[in-house]
């Protein structure tokens, strides 16, 4: 007899995020910020995001030559990011920023109301992209 038990802490995490946004939870460590920090770690591991110096994030990349663009189109597996000279990362966190402050910032700025239609991970990911663009 096999019993499958699923741990679902999402409602507790969402409650923690709501309490933090409303100012009811002012603790330095709470479930919401810990979840966001772990989400960032996972995203960095999967190359969805990157941590690099702020100066590198803010600089504009030089335009690729026509030859290089043509080479990408004809000889290399192309992606839109290769041709448009963009990084493949969804978000870029400046190395100079403190991770606790980043988690707090995301916890404050994410739109809790979107959770009626979207999953928590999607809301956090979209907030990271909006708050820390490459």
Average pLDDT over residues 51-69: 70
Q: Which of 10, 51, 53, 48 is nearest to 32 (CA)?
A: 10
Q: Tokens standing for 122?
A: 């999607």
Sign (positive or negative) of CA dihedral 85, 90, 91, 92: negative
Sign (positive or negative) of CA dihedral 32, 33, 36, 37: negative
Predicted confidence at residue 85, as pLDDT, reads 47
Average pLDDT over residues 27-40: 89
Predicted confidence at residue 81, as pLDDT, reads 44
Predicted confidence at residue 79, as pLDDT, reads 46
Lowest mean pLDDT among 48-57, 96-105, 115-124, 125-134: 48-57
**pLDDT at residue 80 above 80?**
no
- pLDDT category at 9 given cuts 50, 70, 90 is confident
C-beta separation of 72 from 83 below 8 A: yes
- pLDDT category at 82 given cuts 50, 70, 90 is very low
C-beta separation of 92 from 58 below 8 A: no
Q: What share of the chain has pLDDT > 70, as a percent?
A: 72
């Amino acid at each position: 007899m096999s019993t499958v038990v699923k741990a679902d802490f999402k409602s507790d995490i969402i409650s923690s995020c709501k309490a933090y946004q409303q100012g009811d939870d002012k603790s330095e460590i709470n479930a919401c910020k810990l979840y966001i920090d772990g989400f960032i770690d996972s995203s960095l591991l999967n190359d969805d995001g990157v941590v690099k110096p702020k100066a590198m994030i803010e600089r504009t990349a030089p335009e690729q030559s026509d030859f290089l663009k043509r080479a990408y189109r004809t000889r290399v597996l192309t992606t839109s990011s290769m041709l448009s000279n963009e990084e493949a990362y969804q978000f870029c966190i400046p190395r100079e920023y403190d991770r606790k402050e980043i988690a707090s910032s995301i916890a404050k700025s994410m739109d809790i109301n979107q959770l009626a239609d979207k999953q928590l991970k999607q809301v956090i990911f979209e907030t990271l992209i909006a708050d820390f663009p490459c």
